[in-house]
Structure 1
């Protein structure tokens, strides 16, 4: 089994990570339990964090006049695609109410670290109660696919060139939490102080290397789904026809992140097991397991094929542990899937 190597430790709760083709590493810190000073950062060689793309984009706070249109509000994911890093901002601090005009997908050109495009999401795509979670891009970079893990799960399809987006499979069983699934951590049901369990809709997301198949599942669920991306891009299909195109892949773990490696290997983060597992057909094996992987969250692949994974420590946050400090320490790790 591969060993897990610590890359960086953070004083705040990390979720997303992405590694570019030339080895630059970016992370993000959502505003879940605290008003972070840095939402998106580049990880420097000395372990320090450089606000990205600059300090001004990171200057929004819960109580100031910074415009949510051109500042990070509550960033959930960072994803490198070619010569760009894309930042997904659901703009819902504490995964609660949306900040008006905040939901967006922003492209930052790595050459010059400049904002190149902003795709804004209106209420038709990101309604109140939504929480846009993760994003994948077609190989040609023309289409983005997003999961919504909010109270009413869905997928979002973005035409990158036009900057238009559509909300699909809204309320479909494949994008909803499963009623009979609970999250168990350290042998006990994970619940909030008022007794509510951990309930998250469509979250985990992966795209096949050829761009023809999209995979997803609810975090609070064990059923993995897929669909041909040609169906998602076909705007002539109505809701019923699109629903018929959804296929069940099989049963798996309670997972947060999915990743299809450049080699074609399929990895999933198993949050209840402090592990990353690999799926081959209907067979799943543990790729790496370590007690330090407290809620393995997001994965990314480096240019050398190494896998990076964040440990977001969601179970250690004030959401589920009222005695916890609002600032939740977290970490970034890497492992070599070849062993």
Structure 2
């Protein structure tokens, strides 16, 4: 009997070890830090390099079969220099994703480096056909910008494009067809940072000694389009029904009354939404990924010392969660001028058996 119990325990442990999610390294960079990854249904991989300090290098790249990273959609789009026109160049990108239409959508902040204001015409959404590898549309942000705006990330659903402004706290809602938009929830608690950012157990500071604060950043839309989720990097995660968010007739106070706190989140690098309404969220302080279920409960997916500032997450068509571990908190901008990044940085994928949802 004791032998049988022992065998059962050992066998059970072996099964658990086999079924424990395993990080798979899929790409690496030895020269630049990345903060985003997205994939097409046929397996192409695109990455975003935020170039926070205005350093030279690629802004948007494609990881090709030999592991090299090439400028995308062209070298021309990736070689902006100070003084040049801004409309047909990436100034400083912050996010990218394959949208519901199958095109690559890129958010260009228009700011040459961290702490600098966006240049006229620089902040824009760039839409690229991955079939022709050509830019098919640019949507300028000038009409919805404020002096210290930092257009951070975007989601597309139906006839709307939703954007977080991490500089001037608020959300931006654009008409997808016309590109015209409006600002909502400005300086509301749900879009405004309320506490310091903590990564690897340490509060993040700028070179001037001030605590780094980042306003509205992460955002997701439920697969049925009913709920919009959003937060500053320090949390908490808030929720509002899109019926109210899309209603331009509501006053600021009326809209604010429909916003609720949804989840007490830690300092977050990035999120992803699956087709079942689960939100995957990276905890950059404890180096882990959390899954938040539609009912608001959560569970740990993985905790691993390699998840160094896991940023914008992505779910592919094969059930994998893609995780760019960029070590952003170790950049010189946040380490008193001395970078602590240990190259190479990696992108991992993790089988979570999720159904993909593109927004």
Note whether the superposition's TM-score is higher than 0.5: yes
2:14 corresponding residue in structure 1: none
Q: Which of 37, 40, 50 is the equivalent residue of 2:60?
A: 40
Residue 133 (structure 1) aligned with residue 146 (structure 2): no
Confirm or deny: 8 A CA contact 1:33 1:94 kept in the other structure: yes
2:220 corresponding residue in structure 1: 206
Q: Which of 304, 308, 312 is the equivalent residue of 2:322?
A: 308
1:237 corresponding residue in structure 2: 250
Confirm or deny: 8 A CA contact 1:299 1:307 kept in the other structure: yes
Q: Which of 7, 13, 17 is the equivalent residue of 2:37?
A: 17
Q: Hey, what's the Cα distance between the residues in 2 that align with 1:328 and 1:102?
A: 30
Confirm or deny: 8 A CA contact 1:313 1:329 kept in the other structure: no
Q: Hey, what's the Cα distance between the residues in 2 that align with 1:329 and 1:172?
A: 39
Q: Hey, what's the Cα distance between the residues in 2 that align with 1:205 and 1:186?
A: 23
Residue 331 (structure 1) aligned with residue 350 (structure 2): no
Count residues with an aligned counterpart: 330
Q: Hey, what's the Cα distance between the residues in 2 that align with 1:64 and 1:47?
A: 33
Structure 1 residue 71 displacement after superposition: 0.4
The two structures have a TM-score, normalised by structure 2, of 0.87
Tell me the secondary structure at the aligned position of residue 93 of structure 1: coil
Structure 1 residue 326 displacement after superposition: 9.1
Q: Hey, what's the Cα distance between the residues in 1 that align with 2:57 and 2:203?
A: 32
Confirm or deny: 8 A CA contact 1:14 1:28 kept in the other structure: yes
2:282 corresponding residue in structure 1: 269
Q: Which of 163, 182, 196 is the equivalent residue of 2:179?
A: 163
Residue ranges of structure 1 left out of the alignment (5+ in a row): none
Confirm or deny: 8 A CA contact 1:13 1:327 kept in the other structure: no
Structure 1 residue 23 displacement after superposition: 2.1
Q: Deviations over 1:110-137 (max 9, x none)?
A: 2201111111011x41212111111111
Tell me the secondary structure at the aligned position of residue 187 of structure 2: coil
Q: Hey, what's the Cα distance between the residues in 1 that align with 2:257 and 2:76?
A: 45
Structure 1 residue 197 displacement after superposition: 1.5
Tell me the secondary structure at the aligned position of residue 76 of structure 1: strand
Confirm or deny: 8 A CA contact 2:128 2:136 kept in the other structure: yes
The two structures have a TM-score, normalised by structure 1, of 0.92
Q: Deviations over 1:173-192 (max 9, x none)?
A: 110001xx323333332223
Residue 80 (structure 1) aligned with residue 98 (structure 2): yes
- The more displaced of 47-56 and 188-197 is 188-197
Taking structure 1 as reference, are residues 236 and 301 closer, same or farther at Cα in structure 2, changes over 3 Å only? same
2:8 corresponding residue in structure 1: none
Q: Which of 59, 68, 74 is the equivalent residue of 2:86?
A: 68
Tell me the secondary structure at the aligned position of residue 45 of structure 1: coil
2:331 corresponding residue in structure 1: 317
Residue ranges of structure 2 left out of the alignment (5+ in a row): 1-19, 355-359
Tell me the secondary structure at the aligned position of residue 116 of structure 1: strand
What's the C-alpha RMSD, in Å, of the aligned pairs?
1.9
Q: Hey, what's the Cα distance between the residues in 2 that align with 1:148 and 1:118?
A: 18
Confirm or deny: 8 A CA contact 1:23 1:303 kept in the other structure: no
1:144 corresponding residue in structure 2: 161
Q: Which of 44, 56, 80 is the equivalent residue of 2:76?
A: 56
Confirm or deny: 8 A CA contact 1:88 1:106 kept in the other structure: yes
- The more displaced of 21-30 and 267-276 is 21-30
Tell me: higher relative CO, structure 1 or 2? Use CA pairs within 8 A at least 6 residues apart.
Answer: 1
Structure 1 residue 274 displacement after superposition: 1.1
Confirm or deny: 8 A CA contact 2:311 2:323 kept in the other structure: yes
Taking structure 1 as reference, are residues 234 and 333 closer, same or farther at Cα in structure 2, changes over 3 Å only? same
2:309 corresponding residue in structure 1: 295
